[in-house]
Every structure is written in C-alpha cells, then in structure tokens.
Structure 1
Amino acid sequence: MLPLRLVLISLLIAANTVLHVLPLLLVALVKALLPFDRVRRASNPLLTGLAESWIGVNTWMMDRFTSMRVDVQEDAVLQVDGHYLVLANHQSWVDILVLQKVFNRRIPLLRFFLKRQLFWVPLLGLAWWALDFPFMGRYTPKQIARRPELARRDTEATRRACEKFRAIPVAIMNFVEGTRFTPGKHATQGAPYRHLLKPKSGGVAFVLDAMGEGLHAILDVTIAYPGGRPSMMDLLADRIPEIRVHLRQRSIPDELLRGDYQNDRAFRARFQQWMNRLWQEKDADMTRLLAD
C-alpha cells in the first residue's frame, strides 16, 4: 500500500504544481515584456495569489492525507499587509511546508533566499524567479578568500531584492543557521546550543540594513519534531505524528538598524551578541517544546 500511496500523492502534488505554475509563468511573461509600473502593480497580486493558492492546496492535501498534528503557540499579532523578517531554525525540508501552513494568507507571501542552483528546478525555479525570490551564490569562506568580489556579489543581490520589497508587503524568510541541523554538523561546530547550530548573522544584518525601518517586526519561529527530525518521505508516508511550533513576535532594536556590519567590528560584535542571545532563547524553547 505504501508505494501506491506515495505514487498517488506525488501525482497530486505534481498536478497541483503544473496547474498553478503555468498561469503564473504566463503572468510573469506579460510582466517581463511590459515593464511598466501599472502592469507591475496589476501583475504582482495575481502572481502572489497563484502562489498562495498553490500553497493552500498543498496544505489541504497535507491535512487530508496525513494524521500529523501541528500544535502552534503564538505570541504575535499577524498582519496580511505587514513587512516582516522571519527567522527560524532549520532541520528538514518539511520546515518549509510547516512555515507555509502556519503563515499562508496570514502574512505576506514568504520569500526565501535561494541557492542559485535552485533556479534550474523544473517549473519551480522559474516560478521562484517570477515571484522575485532572491538567488544567492552561497560561497564558501575559501572561495571568498580567493575571490573577495564574490562576497560583494551576494551583498548586492540582497540589496537589489530588498529594494524591490520596499514597495510591497513582504515577509523575508531566513534560516539563520545556513544549513539543516544534523548531529554531525553540530559536533563539528562545537555549537554552544543543545538543539541548534550556530547562527549566521551576516544575512540578517544585510536585510535590516537594506530594509531599514520599513520592517514592522521580526517573527521568530521555533520548529520542533518530538518524533525526531523527519524527511519529506516521512511526511508523504504519514510517519510524522506531531510538530510543535512556537511563534514569537520581536521588535527590531533601533541600534541594529544603523551600522556597518562588514567594516565596523564593534557593530558586528554587538549584532552577533544579539543574535546569540536570541538563539539561546530559541534553544530553551526547543527544549521545552520537545519535553512538553
């Protein structure tokens, strides 16, 4: 029965994707060929609506075809027309579906910073491009040491993306750890947290610098899997009994909006200390969510 279940659900997901992405790409083509402000303003809600509809159908299937429970604890007041920076821990690709389930049509469409290679994912890569998802190089420290201009390239990509987002309601998503948690990575890092990897502050600092006071708040999301870190196969096979989510709305400290993260060592140290304190709280939240 399991192979048949996996095939049927995969076909439904593929059909939902094709059904939504094809008209989305058509609207994006019109937007690209007619680069006028009026056309852009008219096309953006259509593009966002198609993306939210695609997410809504995926969420409905997740609710319909699995017995998984998602327990959400909210300390936030959400606005569908707000401007947010969303920060979350990262353990699995399932995290993205959880975030979409929690936030879809409650805040603006989540936009992720994606690896440039993901542009070539069939259909979805073009859809992400049409929705103005920023594509980044994600270079290693060794690559940047050999070619410092690579770091500036990602910084400029971040600034260009944020300039587009100033004019529309937006929720910019950042997995601050930069990679999915595994025990091996945790041991290699020597992270001072029980359930988390070390946070990377640079991306958050760039967004706060580029968006300035245009952001309303930070939405701090902690995702816990009491049954263990799942895979997408676990989700499709209905092997995830429960997911626990804690959502906390945080104000943005004024002192973090004015500073040069790249060149001012003192500011960079203060920013990293703030991020480390946030991550210590998140680690405590993880312990509580897993123990409840």
Structure 2
Amino acid sequence: MLSFLPAWLNICITLFLLIICTAAVSFAICAVAFLRLMCFGLGHKFFIRTANKCMRWWLRRIREIMKITNNADWQCEIPISAEHNDSYLLISNHISWLDTLVLAAVFADLRPVPKFFLKHSLLYVPFVGWACWGLDMPFLRRYSRTYLLKHPEKRFTDIETSREACKKFSGVPTMMVIFPEGTRFTPEKRDLSKSPYRHLMQPKPTTIAVALESLGRQFNKIIDVTLCYPDNPKTPFRDFLAGRLKKVCISIREIEITDNLRGSYLTDKQYKRSFSLWLKELWQRKEQKMSAMKGETGENEKAETGERAENDNSEQAQSPSE
C-alpha cells in the first residue's frame, strides 16, 4: 500500500499508473477499431469482442491500482455471481469522477464490460475518446433549455443517438451504464435544481426508458447500484489520488425487467407516467440507502430537512422585496 506516502507523491504515482494503463489499452482498442474500419464493418462482432477483452484488461488494472494506492475500507453488498453471457442495464447515482473507477473495479469480473453514455466533448480527447468510440460507446450532446427553445429540432438528438448505439450491441453481451441524474451531485446543484432528495439529484427517466425500448428483450435485468464515500464526501476523486480514500460503500441489487418496464416513453403517456413513478420510488429507496451508508439517524435527517425548509421559506419571504 502506498497510502503512507506524502499526498503529492501519491498523486504523481497514481496519475502515472492511470495514464500508462489507460494509454496502453487505448492504443490497443484504437488498433482494433482501425482494423474494423479497414474491413468495412465486416466481422463487427469479432472486433467488438476483441475490444471488450482489451477493456476487461483495463478494468482489472484499475482494481489493482486502487488497492495499491489506497488503504480504503470497501463495504460492498454484492449478492450476485459472475455472469458474462447476458446483457444488463446498470443505473447508479453519480457523485464523482471516481464513480467510474469504482464501478470498473467492482465489475471487472462480474459482468460484461461496462459501456457508458458519454458527453460528446470526450470524443475529442486523444486516444481515450477514440477508444470509447472503438467500443461503440454512445456520445451524447447536452443542450441548454435556451438552445432547445431556439432549435427544437435538436430536442430528440440524444434519443436517436441512444437508439443507434443500443442497436450495435444486439447479439453481443453488454452492460450499459447510465447515471440517470445526468450530473455529479453537489449540495449546490441539489439546491439549485430543487431536488426533493438530500443526497441525490433528481433522476431523468428518458435515457433509461429509451435504452430498454431499443434493446428490447436483450436486457435481462437492471443492476441498481448505490455508491457512497461517507468519509470523503467533498472531494473523493482528489482524495483517491492522494491516497486518502478511507471508505467505499457500494450496494448492488438486481431488478427483474417486467413487461410494465417496457414501452414507448415518447408516445405512450400512460407508460411515461408509470415509468417515471417507478424511477421515483427507486430513487426514494436509494436515498434511504445513502442515509444508512452515511450512518445518519432519523433525528439528523429531520434536523437537516427542517433547516432546508427554513431556508426555502426565507428565500420565498425575500422574493417580493426583490
């Protein structure tokens, strides 16, 4: 373990290991993607399986790096066994850039290699973006509400991109990873968005519903993941780099995909309401799990809830004079 080293030295070592490891696998996946282009798309499944093997190697190296550089206490609830031949949809809360590395470490040998929905800007990151493209990961554009009002034709661009990406995974065991909150959690973002939760942002159901619709029966189960870094709540990724990550709490449960979870989110209003309600209940349960991971009591929760309500009332009282 290197956590005894000075923080600056641990940061240098951790970054070096991450960069070397990521660069190596990126080169390999880019080479596979180039060969696939040279073959004009022939043998797509063979090339994507080869790229997935490279990705599996990266997942295992990330797990080793996390163990070497940090002496963290991993408290994991993982009541599932290894299964690589089926496809899964993984949904998780989003706290930090560290989330991706934690999921990589946990699922290195449990499920098909994870595929993430990424911001379109990451496509232009040298080698990393190209490698993600070689793995057929979908790149989504994020438009502001103001931009969409001026360009309504762009409203469903991400949905179509998600559908096209999901079609590429047909017949290949896949684990799609979605962060329904759409952004990393911070208290400031929570308050600005008026999230009804204390530890979570409000989830957006569209991407999940479209993924379920696009891949149809290929997804066997939903993997519901709850992440928490109770002793490093403010800067978990920076603390990880410095070797100061103390505890990682992760809870995993599988949810059967029943017929009521499948439908057309964009055209069926009844399905849209029922799916949104299902996701809301799921997030309420996740909120309770987060409170338990943080060791909060009911009195603490009531006190903070009362404080937030008092602040909201204060803001409302000041608004007329403004």
- Common topology (TM > 0.5): yes
Match for residue 72 of structure 1? Answer: 76
Shift of 1:10: 1.8
Highest CA radius of gyration, 1 or 2? 2
Match for residue 20 of structure 2? Answer: 15
8 Å CA contact 1:107, 1:171 repeated in 2: yes
Match for residue 130 of structure 1? Answer: 134
When residues 77 and 18 of structure 1 are mapped into structure 2, their CA distance, relative to the original with a 3 A threshold, is closer
Match among 228, 247, 252 for residue 252 of structure 2: 247
Match for residue 264 of structure 1? Answer: 268
Corresponding residue SS for 2:78: strand
8 Å CA contact 2:119, 2:139 repeated in 1: yes
Separation in structure 2 between the aligned mates of residue 212 and residue 41 of structure 1, nearest angstrom: 19
- The equivalences for 1:76-225 within 5 A come to 76-225=80-229
Deviations 1:46-92 (A, max 9, x none): 21111111221122011012111221102334411221010000010
Say how many residue pairs are matched: 290
Match among 37, 59, 65 for residue 63 of structure 2: 59
Corresponding residue SS for 1:190: coil
TM-score when scaled to structure 1?
0.94
When residues 229 and 221 of structure 1 are mapped into structure 2, their CA distance, relative to the original with a 3 A threshold, is farther
Deviations 1:251-275 (A, max 9, x none): 12312212x3123332211111111
Match among 5, 9, 21 for residue 4 of structure 1: 9
Shift of 1:117: 0.4
Deviations 1:133-181 (A, max 9, x none): 0011122232222212212221111111111111200001000111011
Q: Say what the alpha-carbon RMSD is for the aligned residues.
A: 1.6
Shift of 1:5: 2.7
Corresponding residue SS for 2:198: coil
Separation in structure 1 between the aligned mates of residue 149 and residue 85 of structure 2, nearest angstrom: 41
Q: Which is further off, 213-222 or 45-54?
A: 45-54
8 Å CA contact 2:119, 2:142 repeated in 1: yes
8 Å CA contact 1:213, 1:257 repeated in 2: no
The answer as to 2:283 corresponding to 1:279 is: yes
Match for residue 288 of structure 1? Answer: 292
One-letter identity of the residue aligned with 2:180: V
Corresponding residue SS for 1:199: coil
Gaps of 5+ in 2: 1-5, 297-322
Shift of 1:36: 4.6
Deviations 1:211-265 (A, max 9, x none): 112110000000011112434221011111001000010012312212x312333
Q: Which is further off, 68-77 or 126-135?
A: 68-77
Corresponding residue SS for 2:200: coil
Report the identity percentage.
30
8 Å CA contact 1:92, 1:229 repeated in 2: no
Match for residue 27 of structure 1? Answer: 32
TM-score when scaled to structure 2?
0.86
Corresponding residue SS for 2:158: helix
Q: Which is further off, 73-82 or 278-287?
A: 73-82
Match for residue 237 of structure 1? Answer: 242
